[in-house]
Each structure stands twice: as C-alpha cells, then as structure tokens.
C-alpha cells in the first residue's frame, strides 16, 4: 500500500464503499466495470507504494530479445485449487513460477492473436521480472496495434520513471490521461514526478485537480503536504498531512511530514508527538515485512508476480465474458500468494455478482486476516453479513470499520441501514445519519437521514432531509454531473488518481 505496504496491484487502499451486491438488469455493464478495475490495478500498486511494482534488476536499455525462451503457449498450467489456501504440494521454485507466469500470457495470446491488451500483459510480466527492454518492446507492439492503449503509455511511463527520466514519464502519463482521464493513479504519479524535478506549482495544480475529482485520496493529500513543505507553506503542509492521516492512519509517511511541518511552525511538542507516532508505525511496518520475508522467502522470489499475472489474465477474460476462466485464474493466483489482495478482492466481486455471498464472505474474511487494520475489509464483511441478514455480526464489523476510519462516510451509511433494518438504537441511527451528511452531503445520504428521522418520529426532520436530497439531486441533474457517484475503491480495485 504505502512505501512498505502490500505490493499487490490494486491492493491498495481503504475503500469507502464495498457495495458488493449482485446486479439485476445491468450485468454486462457490471462486468465491464470489474474488468476495467482489474486491468488498471497495475497502476495503483506503484503509485501507492511509490516503489517499483517490478522485482529484480532491470536489463540494460537496448538489450536484445529475452535472455531465456518464453514458455510455449501450450505449457502446462497447474489446475486452480479448490480453495484460495496455498496448495499442499511442494513449493514451486522461482524459475517454475516465472515459467508459469509467461505461460499464462502466452495462452492468452494464442487464443487472442494480435490483441493489443494481451501484448500489454506480456509487457507487464517482463517488467515485473525486471526485464525493462523486453517490456518496452511489448508496450510498443501494443501501441503499434492500437495507438490508444492507455495502459501501454502508462507502462512506458513507469519504465521512464524507474530510469529517473521524470520529464519523459510525465509526458507519457499525460498521453495516457488524454486517452483515459479516469485511469486510476496517474494524477498522483504525475505530481510525484513533478515534485522530483522541482516543479512545485505544476505538482500542486495536478494534486488539487485529483482531490477535486476523487475526494478521499490519502496519497494526494500526502503529496500536497510534501509540495507545500518544499514551498515553505508550512500551515498548508500540516493541514494536508493531517488529512492524509485521517484517511490512512496506518501510513507512517504523513506522520513524519507532519512532524517536520510542526517543527518549522515553531511547535516542538507537537513535532515530537508526531515523530514518535511515525517511529511506532514504521516499526510495526518493518516487523510485518520482516515476518513476511522470514516465513515466505520463496514466494517473494516470484509468487507475488505470478499472482498478479493470474489477476491480469482474469481481467482479460472478464472483458471477453469468460467468467469461469477468470475465476480459475483468480483462485490460482490466491493459492500461490497467500497475501494477494488483488486476487481476493476480484474474487469477492465475482462471487457477489453471481449471488454467491457466502463464498464472497469467506474471501473477505481472508482479507481481514491479511490486513486487519484496513477499515475497508471490515466494511466488506459487514456489508455481506447485512445482506445475509446476520445483523448482529454485521453491526460489529461495521463499528470496527468506523473505529479504524472515523472520517470515512461509508461506515456510517452502512451502520445506519443496519440499525434501521433491526429497528434498534434508533436515536443513535439518527445521530449517525447526521454525521454522515456532515461528512458527505449527497442526495443519497440526505435520503438516509430522512429515513432515520422518520423512524424516530421526527416528521419535520424527515421532510427537511428529503427536501435537501431532492434539491441536491436536481442540482446534479442541471449541472450534468452524475448524482451520487460511488466512492472510490482500493483497491483494490482501482487505485486513487
């Protein structure tokens, strides 16, 4: 997630709204949404971690073809396990996992010859294994086939950024944005590259635009804090660092920035307070990664890359309406990497879309175990339990989500719905609904407040909330803006801009 967090693509971040529900009449559109989210998740990991989403040394620029032959398209791929748990067979070697990763994409290319999306996926695999020259070749092949492949421009930008050619990276990312303005994470990537080249005003403008387009992105506020700190606008820096902490309290980076800002503002006590918090969170993070490295060394040699490759293949199959193939790849990806956030998030989406709520709940509980401090996963669990009418357990899970992320509206929204469905703690439900509209004054949330007021016999309050909901809905319609836009997810599906 952040610099030391999960490197799973699209793992990302605390999602504000799980909404893991099966649609009734828009199934095709839903598949398209999931596919787009899965395809773009390679963006989120790099932007959230601020480190490379690839492992291993990069080959020198201009190197020739791959140093070893890619596996044939017909190479055997292990059967998907019946459970996302790690298989009992002997652990595969790094080379066998590399071979399987390439076999997965070669199979796609055999089934869909000359498909520019499949070419991008081949480039991704080379890039993840540190084979930069081969990755660039495949991205260029993809663009030759389709000059509007935003993901190919993104991949080339990542390669340029890795080499320290930040100007070229910004140029390529902006080309990707022109093709797909909603491609997650690029706004923050551009801003960080601009910061590295000292272009503070341009970085601030890009970040402010990102915050306006998608509120609630901790990375944007963190980077704004960095920009303002460099610009010696320490009060603005502190405000943005504080907002980043509200949105992502387990990320150590903004604590360090906030300590620096307070030191420059002449507030040494607060500077010491946040430096201590930074050191505590950094120590927790380092312990987590030391344990991961100690217990899963061989998986770090390729298991995470193999899982990402299976997730890429799943996204590709979803776009071609081959859901069973997508599920098989996601299950295999989850089996080879016990920490794969991306595969599990996508599996939960597929299961919910198919009405398989119990299976989705099992996967979301695994996400809870992988990252118990992530409010989104508690919210996912609570939402599914609510749909399964296990109201007591749902309430407990959602309250934990609110405790972990008290500034995010989705938890309050779900908890109000649970309390109203149970017809219990109605005064608290009304108070929570008022907190909800303070955090996010949308038509949908005012409608929920109206329901809560009505349940408490507050007729005047219900009428007032309904009027506000109608006014907001009418205003959105007049301005052409989409009413009640869903809150962005982290990753996991797509990452923040």
Round to whole Å and give the CA distance between 326 and 317: 5
| Residues of the domain holding 82 | 27-300
Residues 6 or more apart in contact with residue 248 via CB below 8 angstroms: 1, 2, 13, 14, 218, 254
Report the greatest alpha carbon distance in the chain.
Answer: 75
- What is the Cα Rg of the chain in Å? 23
Give the C-alpha distances (Å, rounded to integers) separating 385 from 247, 280, 357, 379, 493: 25, 34, 9, 10, 21
CATH number of residue 88's parent domain: 1.25.40.10
Residue 1 within any structural domain of the chain: no
Per-residue pLDDT of the chain (497 residues; tens, 9 = 90+): 333 333 333 333 333 334 444 333 444 444 444 444 444 443 333 333 333 322 222 222 233 333 333 333 333 333 433 344 444 455 678 888 999 999 999 999 999 999 999 999 999 999 999 999 999 999 999 999 999 999 999 999 999 999 999 999 999 999 998 999 878 778 888 888 999 888 999 999 988 887 877 777 888 899 999 999 999 999 999 999 999 988 888 788 999 999 999 999 999 999 999 998 888 877 766 665 555 454 444 344 567 899 999 999 999 999 999 999 999 999 999 999 888 999 999 999 999 999 999 999 999 999 999 999 899 999 999 999 999 999 999 999 999 999 998 988 999 999 999 999 999 999 999 999 999 999 999 999 999 999 999 999 999 999 999 999 999 887 765 433 333 333 333 333 333 23
Residues 6 or more apart in contact with residue 290 via CB below 8 angstroms: none
Residues 6 or more apart in contact with residue 223 via CB below 8 angstroms: 188, 191, 192, 195, 203, 207
Predicted confidence at residue 417, as pLDDT, reads 96
Predicted confidence at residue 290, as pLDDT, reads 58
Burial zone of 334 (CB within 10 Å; 0-12 exposed, 13-18 middle, 19+ buried)? buried
Predicted confidence at residue 37, as pLDDT, reads 46
Q: What is the number of domains present in the chain?
A: 1
Predicted confidence at residue 420, as pLDDT, reads 96
- At residue 298, the 3 state secondary structure works out as helix
Round to whole Å and give the CA distance between 136 and 254: 34
The whole-angstrom distance between residue 370's C-alpha and the CA centroid of its chain comes to 15
CA angle 9, 14, 16 (to 5 degrees): 120
Is 415:405 a contact under the CB 8 Å cutoff?
no
Residue 60 within any structural domain of the chain: yes
Residue 196 within any structural domain of the chain: yes
Residue 51 within any structural domain of the chain: yes
Residue 22 within any structural domain of the chain: no
Predicted confidence at residue 148, as pLDDT, reads 94
Round to whole Å and give the CA distance between 256 and 273: 10
Which of these, 45, 61, 58, lies nearest to 8 by C-alpha position?
A: 45
Residue 472 within any structural domain of the chain: no
Round to whole Å and give the CA distance between 173 and 490: 20
pTM, entire model:
0.69
Q: Which two tokens stand for residue 391?
A: 């109201």
Burial zone of 73 (CB within 10 Å; 0-12 exposed, 13-18 middle, 19+ buried)? middle
Give the C-alpha distances (Å, rounded to integers) separating 453 from 234, 398, 440, 443, 484: 42, 21, 18, 15, 21
Is 307:343 a contact under the CB 8 Å cutoff?
yes
């Amino acid at each position: 997630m952040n610099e030391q967090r999960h490197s799973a693509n699209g793992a990302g971040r605390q999602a504000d709204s799980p909404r893991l529900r099966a649609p009734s009449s828009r199934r095709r559109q839903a598949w398209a949404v999931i596919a787009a989210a899965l395809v773009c998740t390679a963006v989120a990991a790099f932007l959230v971690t601020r480190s490379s989403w690839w492992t291993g040394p990069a080959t020198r620029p201009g190197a020739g073809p791959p140093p070893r032959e890619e596996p044939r398209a017909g190479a055997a791929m292990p059967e998907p396990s019946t459970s996302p748990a790690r298989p009992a067979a002997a652990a595969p070697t790094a080379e066998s996992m590399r071979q399987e990763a390439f076999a997965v994409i070669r199979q796609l290319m055999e089934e869909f010859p000359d498909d520019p999306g499949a070419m991008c996926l081949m480039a991704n695999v080379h890039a993840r294994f540190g084979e930069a020259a081969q990755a660039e070749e495949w991205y260029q092949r993809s663009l030759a086939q389709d000059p509007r492949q935003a993901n190919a421009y993104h991949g080339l930008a990542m390669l340029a950024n890795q080499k320290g050619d930040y100007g070229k990276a910004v140029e390529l990312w902006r080309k990707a944005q022109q093709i797909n303005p909603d491609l997650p994470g690029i706004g923050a990537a551009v801003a960080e590259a601009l910061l590295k080249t000292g272009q503070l005003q341009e970085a601030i403008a890009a970040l402010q635009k990102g915050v306006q387009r998608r509120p609630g992105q901790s990375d944007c506020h963190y980077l704004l804090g960095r920009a303002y700190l460099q610009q010696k606008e320490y009060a603005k820096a502190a405000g943005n660092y504080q907002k980043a902490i509200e949105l992502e309290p387990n990320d150590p980076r903004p604590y360090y920035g906030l300590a620096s800002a307070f030191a420059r503002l002449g507030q040494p006590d607060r500077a010491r307070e946040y430096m201590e918090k930074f050191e505590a969170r950094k120590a927790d993070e380092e312990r987590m990664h030391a344990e991961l490295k100690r217990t899963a060394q061989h998986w770090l040699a390729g298991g995470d890359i193999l899982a990402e490759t299976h997730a890429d293949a799943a996204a590709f199959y979803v776009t071609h309406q081959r859901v069973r193939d997508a599920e098989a790849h996601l299950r295999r990806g989850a089996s080879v990497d016990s920490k794969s956030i991306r595969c599990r998030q996508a599996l939960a989406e597929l299961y919910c879309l198919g009405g398989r709520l119990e299976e989705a709940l099992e996967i979301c509980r695994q996400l809870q175990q992988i990252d118990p401090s992530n409010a989104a996963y508690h919210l996912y669990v609570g939402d599914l339990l609510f749909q399964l009418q296990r109201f007591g357990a749902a309430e407990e899970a959602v309250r934990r989500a609110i405790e972990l992320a008290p500034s995010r509206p989705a938890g309050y929204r779900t908890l109000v719905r649970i309390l109203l469905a149970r017809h219990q703690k109605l005064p608290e439900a009304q108070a929570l609904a008022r907190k909800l509209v303070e955090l996010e004054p949308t038509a949908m949330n005012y409608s929920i407040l109206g329901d809560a007021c009505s349940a408490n016999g507050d007729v005047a309050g219900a009428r007032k909330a309904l009027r506000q909901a109608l006014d907001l809905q009418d205003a959105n319609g007049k301005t052409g803006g989409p009413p009640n836009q869903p809150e962005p997810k982290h990753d996991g599906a797509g990452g923040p801009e």
